[in-house]
Amino acid sequence: MRAPERRAQLLDVARRVFGASGFHAVSMETVAKEAGVTKPILYDHFPSKRDLYIALIDADLAALHDEVRKALAAPTGNRERIRASFQAYFDFVDEHAEGFRLLMQEAVGAEEEFRQRVAQVRDQILAEVAHLIVRESRGRLDRGHSEIVALALIGMVETVAQREPGGPPERRREAVDLLVRLAWRGITELDQ
């Protein structure tokens, strides 16, 4: 296996193992065994357990952020941007349940370095959503109020997306539709 493929395979295995047991309970030996490689091969790619975990968090954060960014940049109307960004969260949870669970755990976890990495990307997403709200409200909402609305939207979709990860697709679509209706009605009434 070539180095990039091996690295991706090791991250996939680590995501599953850390997702099941958490950072502190997992050893490099466990990850190597689950991946079917020797510890020296694992250490060739990741010098420490912390480096492996950070690479895993960074990969998952980048994937989530890229999907949300694409949804927010779509040339469709604002309601469809909301739908696409909510769907991006749901899709990420459904396709990367262990990774999303790790990100949410690390948002409040004991390791400062892990919390900061998650907070940095969440703050970037928050800023992008708030910027869109400011722009589209045409001055009716200032930056501070837009950030509050953005934070509420992000918290709402993160929480609901985690409810039944990988659940029946029709139920997941219904949940997204309901959240979009709630968010859209709320946002459009803010200037009243």
pLDDT at 3: 86
CATH number for position 36: 1.10.10.60
pLDDT at 66: 94
pLDDT at 191: 58
pLDDT at 108: 65
Enclosing domain of residue 36 = 1-47
* pTM, two decimal places: 0.82
pLDDT at 185: 79
pLDDT at 123: 92
Q: With respect to residue 52, please indicate whether it lies within any of the assigned structural domains.
A: no
pLDDT at 190: 67
Q: With respect to residue 41, please indicate whether it lies within any of the assigned structural domains.
A: yes
The answer to whether residues 64 and 158 belong to one domain is: yes
The number of folded domains in the chain is: 2
pLDDT at 183: 86
The answer to whether residues 89 and 158 belong to one domain is: yes
**What residues contact residue 176 under an 8 Å CB cut-off, 6+ apart?**
83, 86, 87, 90
Give me the residues of the chain with pLDDT under 70, please: 107-109, 188, 190-192
The answer to whether residues 89 and 37 belong to one domain is: no
> For the chain, how long is the longest CA-to-CA vector?
63
Q: With respect to residue 105, please indicate whether it lies within any of the assigned structural domains.
A: yes
CATH number for position 140: 1.10.357.10
Give the orientation angle of helix 3-21 with respect to helix 49-73, to 10 degrees.
Answer: 100
